[in-house]
Amino acid sequence: MSDSGDLWPVDDWDETAEPIEEVESHRGAFGDYGGESGGLIERTFLEKIILVGVTLDGDDEETHAMLDELALLVDTAGADAVERVHQRRTSLDPATYIGKGKVQEIKELAEAIDCDTVVFDDELSPGQQFNLEKILGRTALDRTAVILDIFAQNASTLEGKAQVELAQLRYRLPRLRGSGRKLSQQGGGIGTRGPGETQLEVDRRRLVRRVHKLEADLRNVQAHRVTQSKQRSRTRNRAVAFVGYTNAGKSSLLNRLTDADVLVEDRLFATLDATTRRLPLAGGETVFATDTVGFIRKLPHQLVTAFKTTLDVVRDADLLIHVVDGNGPDPIASMDAVRDVLAEIGAEDVPELLVFNKSDQGDGALALAERYEGSVAASAVSGHNIELLLETVGDRLRSMTELAEFLIPWDRGDVLASVHREGQVLSESPEESGMRLKARLEPASIGALRDYLIHHDSGSDAPAEETAPS
């Protein structure tokens, strides 16, 4: 950067360079331009936000829909989106994202309405963020920063807090800079000669050390989860995981099915920490049901990486209950966004059951259920079709089991009880030597009962999976 006050060229971005001049501070959020808060959104007052979206060779409607969602995110973070700026471009400006002229226009708007922060719908590079803040004289954030801030507010368990902190540090590290203060340097003298160490380098080293500590802690959590998974596999209970777009009603559905008492609020990312409960099915079996963090379009990669230990439960599930807001503004796009994240964590091949929730709020859920074969329209609030949902989950899981016939002696009541507990008993008939029964069981359970096995049919009569309409 030259003394003339030119912007940082992206290719020449130097994170250790000192800002050339002090910019008059504006009250506001995390960063150079005010605020002592450790978060990214200042909540000591109702912060005023300008939202900025850019359409690149696409549909303006999609951009406006994303800005609507960004406004909800900002509201959840505790700020107020007071203005929106939309721009059409053929390509993004590498220095300022939207071009220097548009930035100047936003600056005049921000000064006119006394705005505190400008939030962009796409992720900004460190160089773009610095250039924007230098021109605007106030904080410039992106969608990633807002989502990280919401996660930081909502994390409650030690694991959740560690995951969010790790994601925030990974986001902040490339954006670390002098931030309006002189970079300190060691003084001269015996044993201290040389370039010394700048304060920025000290800060960076401390953050890197903290990142390594959090990564080690989460690896220990992951090892604990692997142990739990092995213990669960020995019980031969199936596992299902609730996935879906944020605020689709996953937690409400889990509460309805299992009386889990998970926090339910009509806002984005109300639940971050995984909750597992036993779910009894209509056939008498019991499965493990886990509620997971909600997904969203443009979910920050830092969060996906940080929440890997939590999302492992999704990859290891036998069935994903994909909950969709059947009356949402764009349920198809939300389904695609969820599947993109599932692919990113390696869970794209796990069987999926679509549940179009909120059927009590309109006809959208019912219409979508008719379009997607094998799906269910239900309502976690009114209880509509909950019994059908349980039956469908049971049918899908039983299609993964195998049919077997046993003859269990009368003096082995414990074995008879285990068959009822671990599978679905289809028929029973008493005989002189014991109880003859047909049941659907896991292959491992059948192997454990081989001493009593009469006939084993490994075929499957699985119901058809959902298929998208042609």
34 vs 378 pLDDT, higher one:
378
Residue 378 within a domain: yes
Shared domain check, 350 and 423:
no
Shared domain check, 360 and 248:
yes
> What pLDDT is recorded for position 375?
95
Shared domain check, 362 and 274:
yes
Residue 5 within a domain: no
Shared domain check, 257 and 387:
yes
> What pLDDT is recorded for position 424?
79
Joined together, the tokens standing for residue 171 give: 């986001």
Residue 211 within a domain: no
Residue 226 within a domain: no
| Helices within 345-412 (DSSP H only) | 364-371, 386-398
> What pLDDT is recorded for position 205?
84
Q: Summarize the confidence of residues 11-20 as an average pLDDT.
A: 42
Residue 377 within a domain: yes
Q: Rounded to whole angstroms, how far apart are CA atoms 150 and 271? A: 11
- Per-residue pLDDT for 268 more than 80? no
> What pLDDT is recorded for position 258?
85
151 vs 324 pLDDT, higher one:
324
Nearest to 127 by CA among 25, 6, 208: 6
Domain of residue 413, CATH code: 3.30.70
Q: Rounded to whole angstroms, how far apart are CA atoms 368 and 111? A: 46
Which of these three, 397, 425, 445, is where a domain ends? 397
Which of these three, 137, 153, 169, is where a domain ends? 153
**Domain with 411 in it:** 401-457
DSSP string, 395-455: HHHHTTSEEEEEEEETT-HHHHHHHHHHSEEEEEEE-SSEEEEEEEE-HHHHHHTGGGEEE
Per-residue pLDDT tens digits for 428-447: 999 999 999 998 887 878 88
Domain of residue 275, CATH code: 3.40.50.300
| pTM for this model (two decimals) | 0.72
Residue 287 within a domain: yes
Shared domain check, 330 and 371:
yes
Per-residue pLDDT tens digits for 39-98: 555 555 678 999 999 998 878 888 999 999 999 999 988 899 999 999 999 999 999 999
User: Based on the structure, what is the number of domains in the chain?
Assistant: 3
Q: Summarize the confidence of residues 159-166 as an average pLDDT.
A: 84
> What pLDDT is recorded for position 193?
44
Shared domain check, 417 and 309:
no
Percent of the chain whose pLDDT exceeds 70: 77
Domain of residue 57, CATH code: 3.40.50.11060
- Ramachandran angles phi, psi of 193, nearest 5°: -70, 155
Shared domain check, 413 and 313:
no
Which of these three, 153, 173, 204, is where a domain ends? 153
Per-residue pLDDT tens digits for 106-115: 999 999 999 9
Q: Summarize the confidence of residues 214-237 as an average pLDDT.
A: 71
